[in-house]
């Protein structure tokens, strides 16, 4: 990966429970030290070097592989101590953002998490492959996946939601899989699961499952599968026409338009 900065800004979508505004790789030490006052949450992964984040009136020493969270209203800057240095960050906001921060008990005294070196290649690859038409999906996927690697099992309710999410991620390919099917497998009332899922994540389960399937469909297109029908079936949609409608609602493009743009971006310059 080159040493130049990479920054992708994401168009705002109104009435979105989780809004991801940017996915950035920062290497300019002058920018790091100047910092900025945030209007949203920021998840920051130090990808190289060592130094200190100054945020909320406190100093936090970090090194490669540390995940750091900053909050709206804070002025955040970084003082490098070991060069070369770089970090990546995702800005996010919305009702679901608040719910995620509460769920994982992230607060001013609990905002530094070590041991995330293994995610650095994933973050870097996702940013390098992100373009204007899919950066929202790429950044939200990385954000949610990184959250999933935190220890969120702090209550019985969260443990059940973790089980539901794990089950969903293993069964979403099945067109017959739904909240009712999950409730039967987990031996819980569907209405209770639906209420608990929204309470813990800030999102409705149907929207979550639909987004999970579409993210997988995007991955299949990115890996060269061209048949819309096959991608629909592999992603858990029995009806290709319905799949096309949902795909456009989630991404702003039809499957054919996305496939052509992805092929164009991967072709010769």
Q: Residue 184 belongs to a domain with what CATH number? A: 1.10.10.60
Q: Residues 15, 108: one domain?
A: yes
Q: Is residue 136 part of a domain?
A: no
Residues 174 and 262 in one domain: yes
Residues 126 and 162 in one domain: no
Cα–Cα distance for residue pair 208/201, rounded to 1 Å: 10
pLDDT tens, the chain, 269 aa long? 556 677 766 555 444 578 899 999 999 999 999 999 999 999 999 999 999 999 877 888 888 998 999 999 999 999 999 889 999 999 999 888 888 888 887 877 778 888 888 889 999 988 888 777 778 888 988 999 899 888 644 444 557 887 888 888 888 999 999 999 999 998 899 999 998 888 776 778 998 898 889 888 888 888 888 899 999 999 999 999 999 999 998 888 899 988 887 766 544 33
Structure tokens at 61: 């020493």
Which residues, at least 6 apart from 257, have a Cβ–Cβ distance to it below 8 Å? none
Q: Is residue 241 part of a domain?
A: yes
**Is residue 40 included in any domain, yes or no?**
yes
- Same domain for 118 and 168, yes or no, is no
For residues 122 and 11, state if they share a domain. Answer: yes
In a domain, 144, yes or no: no
237 in the same domain as 173: yes
CATH number of residue 116's parent domain? 2.60.120.10
Measured between alpha carbons, how far is 179 from 186 in angstroms, rounded to an integer? 10
Beta bridge partners of 179: none
Beta pairing partners, 153: none
Residue 146 falls inside a structural domain: no
Tell me how far apart the alpha carbons of residues 229 and 233 are, in angstroms, rounded to a whole number.
Answer: 6
Place of tokens 């299949």: 220
Do 76 and 53 touch, CB atoms closer than 8 A?
A: yes
On whether both 170 and 86 belong to a single domain, the answer is: no
pLDDT at 222: 82
- The residue length of the chain stands at 269
Give one DSSP letter per residue of 104-163, joined into a string: TT-BTTB-EE---GGGHHHHHHHHHT--TTTHHHHHHHHHHHHHHTS----SHHHHHHHH
Measure the N-to-C terminal CA separation of the chain; round to a whole number of Å.
Answer: 18
List beta partners, residue 112: 68
Q: Residue 246: phi, psi to the nearest 5?
A: -65, -40
Are 14 and 116 members of one domain?
yes
Number of domains observed in the structure of the chain: 2
Q: Tell me the two tokens of residue 70.
A: 């900053």
Per the domain annotation, does 149 fall within a domain? no
DSSP assignments along 224-266, one per residue: T---HHHHHHHTT-S-HHHHHHHHHHHHSS-HHHHHHHHHHHH
SS3 204: coil
Asked if residue 114 is part of any domain, the answer here is yes
Cβ pair 18, 203 in contact under 8 A: yes
One domain for residues 10 and 109: yes
pLDDT at residue 153 in the model? 40
Q: Is residue 148 part of a domain?
A: no
Task: Say whether both 185 and 125 belong to one domain.
Answer: no
**Residues 164 and 127 placed together within one structural domain of the fold:** no
Phi/psi of residue 171, nearest 5 degrees: -115, -5
Q: Which domain holds residue 181?
A: 156-266
The pTM of the full predicted model, rounded to 2 decimals, is 0.54
DSSP line for 53-91: EEETTEEEEEETT-EEEE-TT-EEEEEEEEEEEEEEEEE
Same domain, 116 and 38: yes
* 218 within 8 A of 261, measured Cβ to Cβ: no
């Amino acid at each position: 990966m080159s040493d130049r900065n990479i920054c992708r800004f994401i168009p705002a979508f109104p009435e979105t429970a989780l809004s991801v505004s940017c996915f950035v790789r920062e290497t300019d030490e002058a920018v790091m030290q100047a910092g900025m006052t945030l209007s949203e949450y920021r998840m920051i992964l130090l990808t190289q070097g060592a130094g200190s984040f100054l945020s909320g009136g406190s100093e936090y020493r970090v090194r490669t592989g540390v995940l750091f969270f900053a909050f709206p209203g804070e002025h955040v800057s970084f003082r490098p101590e070991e060069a070369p240095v770089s970090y990546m960050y995702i800005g996010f906001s919305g009702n679901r953002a608040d719910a995620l921060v509460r769920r994982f008990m992230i607060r001013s005294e609990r905002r530094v998490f070590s041991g995330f070196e293994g995610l650095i290649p994933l973050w870097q690859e996702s940013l390098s492959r992100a373009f204007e038409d899919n950066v929202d999906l790429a950044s939200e996927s990385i954000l949610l996946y990184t959250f999933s690697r935190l220890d969120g099992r702090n209550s019985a309710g969260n443990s059940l939601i973790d089980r539901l999410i794990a089950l969903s991620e293993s069964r979403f390919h099945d067109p017959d899989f739904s909240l009712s099917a999950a409730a039967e497998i987990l031996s819980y009332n569907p209405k209770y699961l639906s209420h608990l899922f929204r309470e813990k994540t800030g999102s409705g389960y149907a929207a979550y499952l639909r987004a999970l399937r579409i993210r997988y469909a995007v991955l299949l297109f990115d890996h060269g599968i061209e048949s819309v029908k096959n991608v629909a079936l592999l992603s858990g949609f029995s009806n290709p026409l319905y799949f096309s409608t949902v795909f456009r609602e989630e991404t702003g493009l039809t499957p054919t338009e996305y496939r052509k743009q992805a092929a164009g971006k991967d072709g010769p310059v």
